[in-house]
Structure 1
Amino acid sequence: MVELVTTFNKELVQRLVALEADAFGIGGMNEWHLVPLIRHGHVYIIRKNEDIVGAVQYFLDWDRPKKAYMMGVSIAKEHRGMGIGTKFIQDTFEALAQEGIEEVELTVDPENLTAIKIYENKLGFVVTDFRKNEYGEGEDRLVMKTALAKKGVC
């Protein structure tokens, strides 16, 4: 079951930062990113027992308000490879669709073949663009999009 974070405390933010650091190293989000996203975007978490084992963050596209941008997704190392992340993302898509979101976009490192395969084969994303040096020299990204249905994923 996904949980939309609407209130937070220091411990929750620290756990989310730790998940991000584990997944993305220095490229992960910190308190300065997560607090505004919790307040002004959507941050979903998933728990196993009481421990937060995953998070995904979204914000809206100003030019296309029915499109959400997936900022990031992180799953605790010990829970990866079990399908938890895929199901978690699908559940967040259902929640977004209930709010009238019709499309989700993300960017991914073109060398992250595992993520690309999951995005394409399990979540319905298609590659729509390639952005050279998106985050600096040598930091290329693929742009991927998927359409959402009103009552779930297409």
Structure 2
Amino acid sequence: MSDLNLFRYYQRLLSFGVGNEAKTTLQEIADLLFTSPRHARSLLAQMQEIAWLSWRPKPGRNQRSTLLLNVELSALKESLALERIKLGKYEKALSILDEDEAAFGRLLKTTSGASVKEGRLNIQLTYKRMFERVVPHQLQRSSERFLL
């Protein structure tokens, strides 16, 4: 399952509170996630693998299991957005951050600069508009001329 879908399910679990151990049943979690108990169990296992939460089930019907959410929502949003920025999916990163341009700008600054990807030099510059094709023999704006 994609991390964005897991993120949406994780948001529904925030009613338990981050950092608080909650005693609950699998059925209550399934109801909160609007899914079956079997699917809820697999979602909890996936979230536990990536350390978003800690889930300690107790065997038996209607037994209270322990759920502990490890990650604040804002930190999770920033880490997911940073992954999208590194992949070049800026619009998706901005939508993950709920169109918060200040947070988006902070994340862009952390990834800006020169890097080598797949053996090629990649330069990421933060600029307010798209650059035209940089062709040396055509007239360019001053910002494109700087790159030449």
TM over 0.5: same fold?
no
Provide TM-score, normalisation by structure 2: 0.28
Which structure has the bigger radius of gyration? 2
Between Structure 1 and Structure 2, the one with more helix by share is 2
The structure showing larger relative contact order (alpha-carbon pairs under 8 Å, at least 6 residues apart) is 1
Between Structure 1 and Structure 2, the one with more strand by share is 1
Provide TM-score, normalisation by structure 1: 0.28
